[in-house]
């Protein structure tokens, strides 16, 4: 079933094999440097997180007063009792052994000599958000592109997906004016489900389902994907959004989890701790606080050679002894990932370790499992299998760490992201850009190549003010299509008019005015041209900077282009030569 949801909105950087870039010459104002005297700096109080060894007898059994007294013993002896109480900010009991206190750098240095001291770090304030994608993409709520574009106010967005959830706070119409008078859409919910934000929703179903007549159900989103994509494109900012209490913050119309400035990834931590001491990181939205840290029996669901059981398909574990045990299930089969957990639960299992298949590699997912679970990589799952086979009494537990920020593996390319090259047109680099819609890395944790990331992931603010664009018109594609040896009829069906390729100037693929090249070298030099249009303000001079691989000669003419007015065009040529046969990929570097 397909649904069309219509919503009113309220609201390159590149990685390539060879880069031809245009560097804008700018006049820069010298920066001002300010220094602070070391003595003055060290006298300032900062909040430190201090880690210490366990107190004698452990901290769990200590009363709060005794625990605070133990932690205060690490503070400077020169402080009075009242000063120590004021300096101690927090005392920790459950997750770590330690405390937070206001200290100077000298006091921390002196504390390092005390028995039981482990380490101390200045606290960092990290505001939690439901998603870090806006920051990752350079978008901010109160400045920049979002504010400059008035958050897309008045734009109508249509989404073809699995439906939509009316009444969701992302689609509240508080402060949203009525749709324009020209709007002719329909709302196939009841009379109150649509509003000034969600202005239409329809179901498109052509196959008869009852009595030989096509019967359309209301476009309610039973899957969740349509609501996800619709709120991504046009959702409100929703304060206090969370998933089972995790990542509590502000939901914005955006994608999944990344930090732009640090290239960090956020996930909902759930790790498998095996009886041999090995820890394998994974993910899960369900984060129970009372799951025991003690080791429990661990079994592999497919130990008897039954493929259905290995996939933990419904009813497949009814004859297996999994009562009170943690069960290792494989991804795949005719059941959802969450459904596998239900199978384990129904059979008496207490937790699940879900291992990826080889295709998905390291692309794990945080999901609302029905029992304690962790989704681990294929490599981790293979190691866990080997451990199970190596001992007669394998054990494990699942450790839950909540929202973890700081995974420095973004941007990444997930297993199901479309890859190049394009076999229909090898001269056009595909994908054009990377689409950060999941925790995306090459699924085998290998550095992603140009056929995975294209020209990089989009930076909306820079894309809104690029300086230069590789402008192209619809008719420019006709010589390109003719050059691919399409027939007149085939080209005509694409451009929706009569075309005679014999009257067109057919061009090779790499000659299309596209911001990338993809060519195969021969024995002779190859020269291609590009035309750029200046969309900036005022005068500008661009110099070419060429970064080429070893053994490849790249020549750009002219070496400099000058613009004196907006919309002015300039053409340059790129000549490439390589003695031996090689596929060469070029992309215009982000300006």
pLDDT for 522: 80
Let me know if residue 49 belongs to a domain.
Answer: yes
Instruction: Report which secondary-structure segment, H or E, holds 322.
Output: none
Please give the pLDDT value at position 442. 46
Whether residue 109 lies inside any domain: the answer is no
Going by C-alpha positions, the residue among 406, 404, 171 that lies closest to residue 285 is 404
Task: Report long-range pairs for 299-308 (Cβ below 8 Å, ≥24 apart).
Answer: 299/325, 299/326, 299/327, 299/328, 299/388, 299/394, 300/327, 300/328, 300/385, 300/388, 301/327, 301/328, 301/329, 301/330, 301/344, 302/330, 303/388, 307/333, 308/333
Backbone region of residue 36 per phi and psi (left: phi > 0; alpha: psi in -120 to 50; beta: other values): beta
pLDDT for 521 equals 81
Tokens of 168: 């969701």
H-type alpha helices, 238-393: 307-310, 337-346, 378-390
Same domain for 271 and 390, yes or no, is: yes
Quickly list DSSP for 394-461: -EEEEEEEEEEEEE---S---TTS-----SS-TTS-SSSSB--SSS-S-TTSPPP-HHHHTT-B--HH
Same domain, 54 and 194: no
Question: Do 241 and 374 belong to one domain?
Answer: no
- Return the DSSP state at 164: B
**According to the 3-state scheme, what is the secondary structure of 203-245?**
EECCCCCECCECCCCCCECCCCHHHHHHHHHHCCCEEEEEECC
Residue 48 in domain: yes
Question: Quick check: is 511 in a domain?
Answer: no
Mean pLDDT by 10 residues, the chain (591 residues): 43 28 28 37 76 71 79 89 86 81 92 89 62 66 75 84 87 88 84 85 60 60 81 75 48 34 48 92 88 94 94 94 96 92 96 92 86 94 96 94 60 64 77 56 56 71 86 91 91 83 90 85 88 94 86 90 96 85 48 32
Distances (CA, A) of 473 to 341, 391, 535, 536: 52, 66, 16, 20
Q: Model pTM?
A: 0.51
pLDDT reported for residue 459: 76
CATH at 305: 3.50.30.30
Q: 151 and 62 in one domain?
A: no
Structural domains counted in the chain: 4
Task: State residue 464's pLDDT score.
Answer: 82
Contact 479, 550 (CB under 8 A): no
Whether 390 is covered by a domain: the verdict is yes
CA gap 146, 16 in Å, rounded: 29
Question: What residue numbers bound the domain in which 80 lies?
Answer: 44-103
Same domain for 190 and 285, yes or no, is no
For the chain, helix (H) and strand (E) counts, in that order, are: 14, 26
Find out whether the peptide bond into 570 is cis, omega within 30 degrees of 0: no
For residue 60, give both structure tokens.
């769990």
């Amino acid at each position: 079933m397909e649904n069309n949801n219509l919503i009113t909105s309220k609201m390159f950087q590149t990685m390539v094999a060879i880069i031809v870039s245009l560097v804008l010459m700018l006049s820069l104002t010298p920066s001002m440097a300010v220094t602070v005297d070391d003595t003055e700096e060290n006298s300032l109080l900062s909040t430190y997180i201090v880690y210490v060894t366990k107190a004698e007898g452990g901290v769990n059994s200590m009363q709060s007063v005794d625990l605070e007294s133990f932690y205060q013993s690490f503070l400077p002896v020169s402080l009075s009792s009242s000063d120590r109480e004021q300096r101690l900010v927090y005392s920790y009991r459950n997750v770590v052994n330690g405390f937070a206190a206001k200290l100077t750098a000298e006091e921390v240095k002196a504390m390092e000599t005390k028995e039981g001291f482990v380490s101390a770090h200045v606290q960092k304030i990290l505001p939690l958000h439901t998603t870090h994608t806006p920051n990752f993409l350079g978008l901010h709520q109160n400045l920049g592109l979002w504010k400059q574009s008035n958050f897309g106010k008045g734009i109508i967005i249509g989404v073809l997906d699995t439906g939509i959830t009316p009444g969701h706070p992302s689609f509240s119409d508080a402060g949203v004016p009525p749709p324009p008078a020209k709007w002719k859409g329909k709302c196939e919910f009841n009379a109150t489900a649509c509003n000034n934000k969600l202005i239409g929703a329809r179901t498109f179903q052509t196959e008869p389902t009852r009595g030989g007549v096509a019967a359309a159900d209301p476009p309610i989103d039973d899957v969740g994907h349509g609501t996800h994509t619709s709120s991504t494109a046009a959702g409100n900012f929703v304060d206090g959004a969370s998933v089972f209490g995790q990542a509590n913050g502000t939901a914005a119309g955006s994608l999944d989890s990344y930090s732009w400035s640090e290239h960090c990834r956020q996930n909902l931590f759930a790790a498998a701790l095996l009886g041999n001491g090995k820890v394998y990181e994974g993910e899960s939205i369900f984060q129970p606080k009372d799951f025991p840290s003690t080791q429990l029996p661990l079994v592999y669901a497919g130990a008897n050679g039954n493929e259905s059981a290995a996939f933990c398909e419904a009813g497949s574990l009814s004859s297996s002894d999994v009562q009170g045990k943690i069960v290792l299930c494989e991804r795949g089969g005719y059941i959802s990932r969450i459904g596998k957990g239900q199978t384990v639960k129904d059979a008496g299992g207490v937790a699940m370790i879900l291992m990826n298949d080889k295709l998905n590699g390291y692309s794990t997912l945080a999901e609302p499992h029905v029992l304690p679970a962790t989704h681990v990589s294929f490599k981790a799952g293979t190691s866990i299998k080997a451990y199970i086979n190596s001992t007669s009494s394998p054990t494990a537990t699942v450790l839950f760490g909540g929202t973890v920020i700081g995974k420095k593996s973004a941007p990444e390319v997930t297993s199901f992201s479309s890859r190049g090259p394009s076999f229909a047109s090898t001269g056009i680099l595909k994908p054009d850009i990377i689409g950060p819609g999941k925790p995306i890395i090459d699924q085998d944790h290998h550095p992603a190549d140009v056929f995975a990331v294209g020209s990089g992931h989009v930076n909306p603010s820079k894309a809104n003010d690029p300086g230069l664009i590789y402008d192209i018109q619809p008719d420019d594609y006709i010589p390109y299509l003719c050059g691919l040896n399409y027939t007149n009829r085939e080209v005509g069906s694409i451009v929706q008019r009569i075309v005679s390729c014999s009257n067109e100037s057919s061009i090779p693929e790499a000659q299309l005015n596209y911001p990338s090249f993809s060519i195969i070298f021969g024995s002779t030099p190859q020269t291609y041209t590009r035309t750029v249009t200046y969309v900036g303000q005022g005068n500008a001079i661009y110099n070419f900077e060429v970064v080429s691989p070893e053994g490849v000669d790249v020549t750009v003419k002219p070496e400099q282009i000058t613009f004196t007015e907006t919309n002015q065009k300039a053409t340059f040529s790129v000549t490439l030569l390589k003695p031996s046969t090689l596929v060469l990929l070029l992309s215009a570097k982000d300006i």
